[in-house]
Amino acid sequence: MSPGLNSKVQILRQHKNAHVARLINKGWDWLCRKGTISNLDPYTKQFGYFGEGACLMFPRGTIFGEKWIQVGSKTLIGPYSCISAGMVPGQEMVSDPVVSIGERCLIGRGSHIVGHFRIEVGDDVFTGPYVYITDQNHGYKDPDIPIGLQWPNDQPVKIGSGSWIGTNVTILPGTTLGSNVVVASSSVVNGSFPDRCVIAGAPAKIVREFHQDDGWIKPET
């Protein structure tokens, strides 16, 4: 094959590949639009509550224990997000609901909310992508037994309304966040924090908080 003909063949292949890529991306965009699950979808009847205007974006992650999960009105759960109540599908739970997400929330793509006893997310809570929230850790009483085989401990988690949870944050069992709390990206959160503060770090600590008389101040070190 002559150099000129070979160049033309390569150009034709590039145009063909570009056309195929365009079709694939248009198809994916169509799937994402049509695959989003709204409160009108029969699947949402499996939830303890799934409010008007709420939706699960496509492609959705693993979701089970829907009976013990509540999703408030106009809440958007991003693609690849996983929400579970219990360790395995079909498990009977001792509390109801196990996971509740308030109204007008935004759960970022790839986030995980893993509930076993009680996780409460208030209204108007926004998270970045890849946030992990759980109310259970494995115990470590016996150093000779594999940790994954030891009996877990459950501690409820509460996230106050109006809070912002940054990208890659981990919220551990027993955490309580007040209202309008900002959690900086990649923080590891454990403990109780008041309203209107900014927390950061691993473990997370208050780096700024609002006082009615003095405005935003840094805590004393």
Just list the catalytic residues.
138
Q: Which of 127, 129, 116 is nearest to 61 (CA)?
A: 129
- The C-alpha atoms of residue 70 and residue 205 are separated, in whole angstroms, by 30
Q: Which of 191, 167, 195, 201 is nearest to 181 (CA)?
A: 195
Residue 64 gets the label, from left (phi > 0), alpha (psi -120 to 50) or beta, of: beta
- The C-alpha atoms of residue 199 and residue 99 are separated, in whole angstroms, by 24
Neighbours of 152 (CB within 10 A): 15
- The C-alpha atoms of residue 167 and residue 191 are separated, in whole angstroms, by 19
* H or E element that contains 47: none
